Amino acid sequence: MSPAAVDLHVELLGLSFASPVLAASGTFGYGAELAPLCDLSRLGGIVTKGISLQPRAGNPPPRICETAAGMLNSIGLANVGAEAFLRDKLPFLRGCGARVVVNFFGESADEYARCAERLSAPGVDALEMNISCPNVDAGGLEFGVDPDVAGRLVERVRGCTRLPLVVKLTPNVTDIVPVARACVEAGCSALSLINTLKGMAIDAQSRRPRLARVFGGLSGPAIKPVALRLVYQLAQARLGVPLIGIGGIASGEDAAEFLLAGAALVQVGTASFARPDAAARVAAELEELCRAQGVAAARELSGALRVDAAAAPGAGARPR
């Protein structure tokens, strides 16, 4: 007797995803680079490298270094720009067999709006807006750390595209819930979380920072507990939009944990640097986990975490 089939499909944002596992922005290039090494048909979607209106060379090297249980990057959002992306990269993605989610950013609200409008092209299924970028109109303050600023930005961009608009949240805030709520009230379709945590690394022998720009974004297994907590926290806030979990996912069990915490989809990021086929492997392992537990559809895991009422956040329990 053959093993029972597991349904990995997820209906979300008016789209059908073949799997709840997507490849995360900035870790999977523009898709074609990893296609020979990863079965793209196993993925629910590919979230592209962040795209800006104009090409960007990014930061000077060194701009990546390994850390304990993760890595720091200060790539500086290097990319080919919107026009080259549409001309040279999107044709492959249209036929890759996975949903196409284009991550984008700007240095001003006007740039964000113009970029979203330009990238709303045939073959693009959804947009993911990175609001962890410095706002040049506000002296370099990140768009995503202030609820009012984030809300106004989402409202501006929402008026420039009919595509599903996912907002990618930064964890570098005191309280993520007000920022998330402002984005939802401004009209975003979903929230993805989290982006990288700000960190640094030092070479004690040379007494110099390991990154040319000193600070970088920490990703990988080291940030998974933080990401899980924030996904669960927003799920409990019941904001009325789907959540996409990101942060240290390297196995099917990791993906299941994010689904249980309240995510509807997950993204595999840093693990792809160690194994280019990581996202496809995570999808296969998630399917096997569901089969072993007698779960007919992976979506049944979403929000199914069992928490004792007395231990639930807000019920008197405090971290030790």
Average pLDDT over residues 86-111: 96
Judge contact between 232 and 243, C-beta under 8 A.
no
Q: What is the mean pLDDT of residues 37-51?
A: 96
Average pLDDT over residues 147-164: 97
Counting residues of the chain whose pLDDT is more than 90, the rounded percentage is: 91
Q: With bands split at pLDDT 50, 70 and 90, how would you rate the model's confidence at 108?
A: very high
| Residue 273 pLDDT exceeds 90 | yes
Which residues are identified as catalytic? 133
Asked if the structure places residue 210 within a domain, the reply is no
Indicate whether 207 belongs to any domain.
no
Q: For the segment 178-194, what is each residue's pLDDT rounded down to a tens digit?
A: 999 999 999 999 999 99
Pairwise CA distance, residues 196 & 126, whole Å: 21
317 — pLDDT class (breaks 50, 70, 90): very low
pLDDT at 309: 75
Q: What is the pLDDT of residues 69-81, one digit of tens each?
A: 999 999 999 999 9
Residue range of the domain that includes 274: 10-59+77-197+219-311
Nearest to 158 by CA among 125, 112, 124: 112
Domain count within the chain: 1
In a domain, 5, yes or no: no
Task: Judge whether residue 304 has pLDDT over 60.
Answer: yes
Q: What is the pLDDT of residue 133?
A: 79
CATH number of the domain that 157 lies in? 3.20.20.70
In a domain, 72, yes or no: no
Residue 310: the pLDDT is 65
Do the strands 197-200 and 265-268 form a parallel or antiparallel pair, or are they unpaired?
A: unpaired
pLDDT of residue 282: 98
> Does 70 reside within a domain?
no
Is-contact 171 230, C-beta < 8 A? yes
Residue 69 domain flag: no
DSSP state of 9: -
**If pLDDT is split at 50, 70 and 90, which confidence band does 59 have?**
very high
Residue 248 forms part of a structural domain: yes
Of 289, 301, 246, which is closest to residue 3 (Cα–Cα)? Answer: 289
The per-residue pLDDT for range 233-253, each reduced to its tens digit, is 999 999 999 999 999 999 999
Q: Does a structural domain hold residue 132?
A: yes
Please give the pLDDT value at position 312. Answer: 67
pLDDT band at 308 (very low <50, low <70, confident <90, very high): confident
Average pLDDT, the chain: 94
> Distance (Å, rounded) from C-alpha 163 to C-alpha 101?
10
With a cut of 80, say whether residue 23 has pLDDT above it.
yes
C-alpha to C-alpha distance for 74 and 211, rounded to whole angstroms: 7
pLDDT tens by residue, 129-153: 999 876 556 556 789 999 999 999 9
Question: Would you state the pLDDT for residue 136?
Answer: 56
The yes-or-no verdict on residue 315 having pLDDT over 70 is no
Distance of CA 45 to the CA centre of its chain: 12
pLDDT at 267 over 80: yes
Mean pLDDT of 99-115: 96
CB 274, CB 74: distance < 8 Å: no
Residue 137: its pLDDT value, please? 63
